Amino acid sequence: AGRHTIILMQPSQNRASRTFMDYNSINHALDGICGLYERKIRDINPMVPNITYDISDLYNFIDGLADISALVFDHSIQAFLPYDRQWIKQKLFQHLKKLSQR
């Protein structure tokens, strides 16, 4: 069920910070967002060997971005559908919950 997903992101108020990340599925996109946050934590705390965080930390990271949204390809209409920050946070929660149950 790979649904091509593009994450559109603007980390700061500077419009030049706009970027995008391209993934083969929603789950890969969610992993990519987690990876961005984990890299930020490592940059801030380079001496900490093992990083840990909870969902509220991840939500704070997402809320701290000037803008973030997702475009997810819908095969039935052959077009990308837009989703907002809240949808991304909801999907992250579901995704991480599934991963923690493995």
Q: For 4-51, what is each residue's pLDDT tens digit?
A: 999 999 999 999 999 999 999 999 999 999 999 999 999 999 898 888
* 65 neighbors 11 (Cβ within 8 angstroms): yes
Amino acid at 7: I
Residue 65 pLDDT exceeds 90? yes
The listed range with the strongest mean pLDDT (41-45, 61-65, 98-102) is: 61-65
pTM: 0.91
H helix intervals, 1-102? 26-44, 55-64, 85-100
Three-state secondary-structure class, residue 88: helix
Query: Can you list the domains of the chain with their CATH numbers?
Result: 5-100 (3.30.2260.10)
Quote the CA–CA distance of 62 and 9 in Å, as a whole number: 10
Confidence of residue 2 (pLDDT cuts 50, 70, 90): confident
67: DSSP letter: E
Q: Write out the H or E segment, with its range, that includes residue 74.
A: strand 67-74
Report the chain's mean pLDDT, rounded to a whole number.
Answer: 94
